[in-house]
Amino acid sequence: MNRTSCLPQALPYLPAELRNRIQKLPQQTREQIQEIRLRTGRPVAITLQGQEELLPHDGASAVISAAYLDGVFRSVCEHSVHSYQQEINRGYITIAGGNRVGLCGTAVLQRQQVEGLRHISGINIRIAAQIHGCGEELFHRTLEGDVGGLLICAPPNSGKTTMLRDLCRICGSRHRVSVIDERGELAAMHQGSSPFELGAMTDVFDGYPKAMGIETAVRVMAPQYVVCDEIGGMEETEAILHAVHTGVHLIATAHLGDLRQLSQRPQLQRLIEAGVFRYAVMLGSGTQCGRILTIRRIGQPV
């Protein structure tokens, strides 16, 4: 398998001093960085194989100040915070390369809805990657020569999106695939093109809410497969059911700690009972990040 990290696309958003500290790390370490975590009053930390460790600082200040963190926040917003207000309200911003920046701070509430964020206290930059070949085994065991949907389950930061991206590449070289990329992580589109190899027959619906994207894709692109990340909402469930009954197959991910939790997620259970998925797979986390732990046949195709 060939792993390409999107760390280089994330580094320009960081102060020069922090960029230099990261670039001094051995190349093998840099390529394996999953997260860069910045917290007010704490040292910078990086996540490797699911384990968080402090970044060496070589005499530089080991503690992040509020002003320093605010500078990173404004850089991530390209110094136009109001332009990213919707993303800030959701708690994350997707930057170049499909890297996702999670934001932690004090919520500004209006009518029980988050309308802003102040006093940013933590930033987590989750580094995207493309791993050519990581989806081959799963494709051959669940999708090749078979008809039906696939649900990829795992805890957060377990390689679901990376696996999904490679399945897009594999399926998109054989079938018409529509990717519904609500958060811009899966395809990381920039001015109409993706830095990732997603397959010659893959179309990307960038920034569409999942339900709207699924409905639009089915109507205008006639896909054989629809691919989307982190499903579970009621609106998208209805859109998925409609799409599947037109002959489309779904490949999707969901946050779960165990396949037994499927029965505790009403919308996922509805999809399973409707025959949307033929297989569910559980991926490992931490040192087993992205590794296939379990493949379970859970239904017959519609």
pLDDT tens digits, 114-132: 878 889 999 999 999 899 9
Report whether 104 contacts 23 (CB < 8 A): no
Q: Label the pairing between strands 129-132 and 113-126.
A: unpaired
pLDDT of residue 2: 84
**Cα 240–206–193 angle (5° rounding)?**
135
pLDDT of residue 300: 55
Q: Is the dihedral of CA 267, 147, 154, 186 positive or negative?
A: negative
Question: Which residue type sits at 157?
Answer: N
pLDDT tens digits, 248-283: 999 999 999 989 899 899 999 999 999 999 999 999
- pLDDT band for position 302 (50/70/90)? very low
Q: Is the dihedral of CA 205, 206, 208, 210 positive or negative?
A: positive
Q: Find the helix or strand (DSSP H, E) in which 7 lies.
A: helix 7-10
pLDDT of residue 115: 79
DSSP 147: -
Report whether 85 contacts 116 (CB < 8 A): yes
Report whether 37 contacts 44 (CB < 8 A): yes
pLDDT of residue 216: 98
Report CA-CA distances (Å) from 276 to 101, 146, 149, 280: 32, 13, 6, 11
pLDDT of residue 245: 93
Q: Find the helix or strand (DSSP H, E) in which 275 lies.
A: none
DSSP readout, 150-218? EEEEE-TTSSHHHHHHHHHHHHTTTS-EEEEETTS-SS--BTTB-SS---TTEEEEET--HHHHHHHHH
pLDDT tens digits, 152-174: 999 988 889 999 999 999 999 99
Report CA-CA distances (Å) from 79 to 72, 153, 211: 10, 36, 31
pLDDT tens digits, 220-257: 999 999 999 999 889 999 999 999 999 999 999 999 99
Report CA-CA distances (Å) from 136 to 120, 167, 174, 202: 41, 7, 13, 17
Report whether 179 contacts 171 (CB < 8 A): no
* Domains, the chain, with CATH or none: 2-126 (3.30.450), 132-297 (3.40.50.300)
pTM: 0.83
